[in-house]
Structure 1
């Protein structure tokens, strides 16, 4: 992960020396879910920064690095469960300015899990564990698609959806962890071993 981050910074530095470059710190709201989980979207935050390299007047490449709170949550018959997976995401976006400050963008994203936590509660009894380091895979790959607006004053707004393309869970390890901690309302048979991340993001930033 350190090597990838270093290569990203070198790429930005090289491009900035030859092209128009903008630094864009961002913060935003996530609505995250996991396929095949039976859950609903879990709110969270994402925060980080990107570097916009203007290749032409209307086309840019925008690599970035973000801390992103993801996972899913669910509630049924008085039982609530929440999976909290945090990632360090590195998107590389290809952005086209289609009309004044309005833009469309898309590109690949590398994700590296930095923490996992499972919370469950039923009838006043709650269980929380962070012993899930082996239950969710450490690497995630996604496709980012979105649109945004860049104001002349520097403020930017964006809306995008990150489509997970890789399986995120290790079925055997996750089932064993659920049995060991006794999370109410969940059994190993509830999992089919395949789940992908999906994250809707609203972001605001400032383009320097």
Structure 2
């Protein structure tokens, strides 16, 4: 029994030494729409930090936290305007590398609405009318560059209803990012 316990501890320590973690920053451009109510999209940006944890070589987990601008051009009760929603996103991505250069990723994302600005016939800044929590998903592809830089493109899609003027509506956005590992 003692020998088996020692073997298990040694295997776990060996597996732990295989785990590599890198911290990084990422920022980029967003193009967002609100599904089912958008007349057009909104350009914005996102920025945040991440922790890339490599497991078993080309498989990794990447939790992060970032600020992201979302929203759309909307027709609000007969008047059009520009809706800007400000979120704190917390994605947890699983990355699969095909070769050390290219990877694909997917995972869940929790988003918290922290501010809102509607510019139209009336200006609205209250977040109380909208759902303040959005659960969604992220899928994308990334490329690792020299000197610890990386670029990626992703598609974020909300599962939760925003409850926008009693219409079923969900966030959708395309993101292009550049990151740097430290």
Question: Scaled by the length of structure 2, what TM-score is found?
Answer: 0.84
Q: 2:110 maps to which residue?
A: 110
Cα distance in structure 2, aligned partners of 1:60 and 1:38:
35
Q: 1:166 maps to which residue?
A: 160
User: Which consecutive unaligned segments of at least 5 residues does structure 2 have?
Assistant: 1-15
Cα distance in structure 2, aligned partners of 1:156 and 1:38:
31
Q: 2:146 maps to which residue?
A: 152
C-alpha distance 58-18 of structure 1, shift in aligned 2 (>3 A): closer
4+ residue runs of structure 1 moved beyond 2 angstroms?
Answer: 16-19
Q: 1:201 maps to which residue?
A: 175
Cα distance in structure 2, aligned partners of 1:170 and 1:44:
20
Cα distance in structure 1, aligned partners of 2:164 and 2:128:
7
User: Where is the strand percentage greater, Structure 1 or Structure 2?
Assistant: 2
Question: Are the equivalent residues in 1 in contact too, given 2:64–2:91 (CA < 8 A)?
Answer: yes
C-alpha distance 129-97 of structure 1, shift in aligned 2 (>3 A): same
Cα distance in structure 2, aligned partners of 1:98 and 1:18:
18
Question: Are the equivalent residues in 2 in contact too, given 1:63–1:92 (CA < 8 A)?
Answer: yes
Question: Does 2:36 correspond to 1:42?
Answer: no
Question: Are the equivalent residues in 1 in contact too, given 2:18–2:55 (CA < 8 A)?
Answer: no
Question: Scaled by the length of structure 1, what TM-score is found?
Answer: 0.74
Cα distance in structure 2, aligned partners of 1:39 and 1:143:
23
**Paired residues, what number?**
164
Residues 1-208 of structure 1: pairs in structure 2 closer than 5 A = 19-74=19-74, 80-121=80-121, 127-130=122-125, 132-169=126-163, 171=165, 193-208=167-182
User: Which consecutive unaligned segments of at least 5 residues does structure 1 have?
Assistant: 1-15, 122-126, 172-191
Comparing 97-106 with 63-72, greater Cα deviation is found at 97-106
